[in-house]
Amino acid sequence: MAAISRDEVAHLARLSRLAVTEQELDTFAGQLDVILQSVARVGEVAAEDIPPTSHSVPLVNVLREDEPQPCLTPAEALSGAPDPFEDRFRVPRILEEEE
């Protein structure tokens, strides 16, 4: 049985904000199925009572001194922006247009 269907891949691509093509979906569905079936082997390990590790260095609440530091100027911060406008990042509209 397939671990993941073509429809599921299409749904995940939408969630991931990837406008994948039909042809990519055909290719990815098979490839991702092979990958998922292989990585699903982690389920063979009896790990019920084992705590998870998110990170190899156990650190909590690393804080720096609250001292002013030099930072980027607006021009520097905007230097790589695709559409800068009056010291701001201009973005496409976010809300639907009113009917």
Partner 1 sequence: VSDLIKSSAAELGSLIASGQASAVEVAQAHLDQIAAVDGRVHAFLHVDSEGALAAARAVDERIAAGEKLGPLAGVPISVKDVLATKGIPTTAGSKILEGWRPPYDATLVERLRDGGLVMLGKTNMDEFAMGSSTEYSAYGPTLNPWDLTRIPGGSGGGSAASLAAYEAPLAIGTDTGGSIRQPGAVTGTVGAKPTYGGTSRYGLIAFSSSLDTPGPCARTVEDAALLHAVIAGHDPRDSTSIDAPVPDVVSAARLGATGDLTGVKVGLVREFSGEGAESGVMGAFRDTVEALTKLGAEMVEISCPHFGYALPAYYLIAPSECSSNLARFDGVRFGLRVGDDGNRALEEVMSLTREAGFGPEVKRRIIIGTYALSSGYYDAYYGQAQKVRTLITRDFTSAFEQVDVLVSPTTPFVAFELGSRTSDPYQMYLADLFTIPTNLYGGPAISVPCGLSSGLPVGFQVMAPTLGDDRMYRVAAAVESVMGGLAAPTL
Phi, psi of 65 (to 5 degrees): -65, 145
**Closest to 10 in 3D by CA, of 21, 1, 2:** 21
Which positions from 39 through 98 interact with partner 1, judged by CB under 8 A? Answer: 39-45, 47, 50-57, 59, 62, 64, 72, 76-77, 79-83, 89, 91-94, 96
> Least Å distance between CB 7 and partner 1?
13
Which positions from 2 through 41 interact with partner 1, judged by CB under 8 A? Answer: 4, 8-9, 12-21, 24, 27-28, 31-32, 34-36, 38-41
